[in-house]
Chains A and B, each alone.
Chain A
Amino acid sequence: MLKYLMKRSGIYLIMIFLTTSAGYFLAVSSLKPAVLEQEKIPRPTPEQVAASFRGLGLDPDLNPWERYIQWLGGIVTRWDWGRSPNGAFVNAEFADRVLVSTRLFIASIILTLVIGVALGVYSAARQYKFQDRVITSYSYLVHILPAPIAYFLVQLGAIGINEAVGERIFFVTGISTPGIDPGWPAFVDMVAHYAVPTFAMTIFGWAGYQIAQRQYLLDNVNADFVRTARAKGLTRNQAIRKHALRVSFIPVAQSIAFTIPAIFTGGFFAEAIFAWPGIGLWSIQAISLQDVNVATATLAYGSVIFAIGAILADFATTLVDPRVRVQ
């Protein structure tokens, strides 16, 4: 098992390397920070700009390949992901940003999975009944609603609640109130900031799991092995709960990997809408500032997230399905 995970991780490392390199070339050839420097007052001369960028390792006179070698050398030898045009180190900010994003994602990933699977089971058990129709129609509706608009609508709703109550219950933007007292007030403040984005990401995130779980469970409800369990003396519901459910979870577990990019994208939109200073927002800001190194770093982070998801999916599959266990 360990050997297998190592092998998979190796393959994913190669892929991450390739996607990141491709991302770097794209960024280097399309992002031109020098253009923005021209808007500064006093307007620097091109020579000044070039000189300052050269100091930051962003020499605009080098060709993309030379810059790539320089950049890659920095990472390989010093684990230095380069600097922004304003001189900030990518490494310095990266950890904070990742922490913010991870905090935002983790809660909603878990909630999405749990609620999605639970609702899938519930709606499958009540196939074609009222509850099933409501839940499943909702999931299909979510499919035709772009994530940022959905989040925006939630934000509007939260503002509406605040206005109706006449008090600021939910914060619709930001991560915390500056200068809040530590301890209980800080905790309440955190919850008030977390509630809206987590809620939004969750209620618009579970649809995929719900539909998949419902479908796979329905596929298994009349399976031969469920009939065997019933023939042993289990009631239909017991047989489904004990036998069909676990089998139907196998493909759902496998699909986790492929929903990770969606969660990443969703998180990206959520950060943009709710102004959370995570990786997503950082990347947008960086791109508008024509910041090659930050853009590439966030891209690499996205690939890593995907790889982790894929390995987790493999792991989950081996947990629930003895057929793929490897000695």
Chain B
Amino acid sequence: MTNIIDPIAEIDEARVADQDVVIGKSRIIFRRFMRNRTAVAGLFIFLALFLFSIFGGFLTSWDKDTIDPLNIGMPPSPDHLLGTTQAGIDLLALIVDGTRTSILIGLIVGGLSVLISAVYGCTMAFFGGKVDATMLFILEALIMMPAILVVAVATSGGGGLKDLPSWLLLVVVLLFFSWMGTARLVRSLSMSLMQRDYVKAAKYMGVPSRRIVWRHLVPNIGSLLVLDFTRGITGAILAEVAFSFIGIGIKVPDVSLGVLIGQATGQVSSFPWMFWVPLTVMFLLTGSLAMMNDGLRDAFDPSSSSIGRAKTKTAKKVNK
């Protein structure tokens, strides 16, 4: 069954003649992603929240530091679109701020941890031997550390780390414990890539190691890294919410979704909007990222069923 020649591939070949195929790869992935409706919806929700976190302040005339003494603990009203807290602070203003903090934490932790894991994993795979064994030991020891306690110690301490703003402190700690899983994956993937014949071929041609890593390894683990980036953002946002929720993450006066949700738990029955609104925003945020991740995974997966669909569509376009 495997050797049946794909007619669509043949049609694709005709298209290849006009030299556009060299950039075709990323275009194919983009197209496949855009064809996944869930993923596109996720992207739009995420972008909307991102814009909201930056420009949402214009939706209300209040800011998060101003108390409205006339509206204390009021449900949503034309004056305060999402109501106010029991201290009389506009919830919308708080949520704009909190969303921004959460997204910021997600992007920084997600991005940097991917970078760290890629460098660490590739280094392990490339050098192998003793270097690999030592680095693997460190990595496993880090996995063994109960991250949550370290977070608690670091953010609650009265000592030297107190100088940093609490969100930045959380970023540092989360970053410290977020990259090991991916680093392991990168390591095993690069190791198997190093065994591929095309890498050997390049080696036997005398292509320098640096160039082999850059031209053959990096593009091939790229999809893993992109996927892990979105997953890392989700993970960091969730961790922030979880930690802040039980009071060991971000500390007031910094505001984040986790802080808002956590603060509201005491009065869910009397001020329900204070709990459900930030929770919904968090869900939209993490949900949209999960939807995007799903679409990206599909777009990158060479064995994905949407390959066929993708090719069929391009083929049809050519036929017209």
Residue contact A27 to B153, C-beta cutoff 8 Å? yes
Q: From known contacts A30-B161, A140-B290, A290-B158, infer whether A148 and B145 are also in contact, taking CB-CB under 8 Å.
A: no
Asked if B17 is an interface residue, CB under 8 A from chain A, the answer is no
| Interface size class, chain B | 35 or more
Task: Give the contacting residue for A146; candidates B143, B153, B157, B238; CB below 8 A.
Answer: B238
Task: Give the contacting residue for A287; candidates B146, B147, B239, B248; CB below 8 A.
Answer: B248
Task: Give the contacting residue for A144; candidates B149, B150, B152, B290; CB below 8 A.
Answer: B290
Q: Return chain B residues, CB-CB under 8 Å to A23.
A: 145, 149-150, 153
Q: Return chain A residues, CB-CB under 8 Å to B198.
A: none
Residue contact A19 to B141, C-beta cutoff 8 Å? yes
Residue contact A299 to B290, C-beta cutoff 8 Å? no
Q: From known contacts A27-B153, A146-B238, infer whether A32 and B159 are also in contact, taking CB-CB under 8 Å.
A: yes
Q: Which residue of B lies closest to A18 (CB)?
A: B141
Q: Return chain A residues, CB-CB under 8 Å to B160.
A: 29-30
A268 vs B290: C-alpha distance in the bound complex, in angstroms? 25
Residue contact B242 to A30, C-beta cutoff 8 Å? no
Residue contact A31 to B143, C-beta cutoff 8 Å? no
Asked if B154 is an interface residue, CB under 8 A from chain A, the answer is yes
Asked if B287 is an interface residue, CB under 8 A from chain A, the answer is yes
A6 vs B198: C-alpha distance in the bound complex, in angstroms? 42
Q: From known contacts A149-B261, A272-B246, A284-B152, infer whether A144 and B158 are also in contact, taking CB-CB under 8 Å.
A: no
A297 vs B233: C-alpha distance in the bound complex, in angstroms? 31
Among B143, B147, B157, B289, the most chain A Cβ lie within 10 Å of the Cβ of B157
CB proximity of B135 to chain A, nearest CB, Å: 14
Asked if A212 is an interface residue, CB under 8 A from chain B, the answer is no
Q: Return chain B residues, CB-CB under 8 Å to A302.
A: 145-146, 149
Task: Give the contacting residue for A19; candidates B144, B239, B242; CB below 8 A.
Answer: B144
Q: Return chain B residues, CB-CB under 8 Å to A287.
A: 149, 152-153, 156, 248
Asked if B218 is an interface residue, CB under 8 A from chain A, the answer is no
A258 vs B143: C-alpha distance in the bound complex, in angstroms? 9
Q: Return chain B residues, CB-CB under 8 Å to A35.
A: 158
Instruction: Tell me the dominant secondary structure on chain A's binding face.
Output: helix
Q: Return chain B residues, CB-CB under 8 Å to A210.
A: none
A143 vs B287: C-alpha distance in the bound complex, in angstroms? 9
Task: Give the contacting residue for B154; candidates A30, A32, A261, A264; CB below 8 A.
Answer: A30
A12 vs B141: C-alpha distance in the bound complex, in angstroms? 9
Residue contact B158 to A30, C-beta cutoff 8 Å? yes
A30 vs B160: C-alpha distance in the bound complex, in angstroms? 6
CB proximity of B28 to chain A, nearest CB, Å: 25
Residue contact A32 to B141, C-beta cutoff 8 Å? no
Task: Give the contacting residue for A283; candidates B149, B159, B245; CB below 8 A.
Answer: B149
Asked if A265 is an interface residue, CB under 8 A from chain B, the answer is yes
Asked if B241 is an interface residue, CB under 8 A from chain A, the answer is yes
Q: Which positions in B face A, CB cutoff 8 Å?
A: 137, 140-141, 143-150, 152-154, 156-161, 234, 238-239, 241-242, 245-248, 258, 261, 265, 268, 279, 282-283, 286-287, 289-290
A-B CB contact pairs (8 Å), 15 listed: A12-B144, A19-B141, A26-B154, A27-B157, A29-B160, A30-B159, A31-B153, A32-B157, A140-B290, A146-B242, A264-B148, A284-B246, A287-B149, A290-B157, A299-B146
Considering the complex of A and B, which 5 residue pairs feature the smallest CB-CB distances, nearest first?
A30-B157, A302-B146, A146-B242, A30-B159, A144-B286
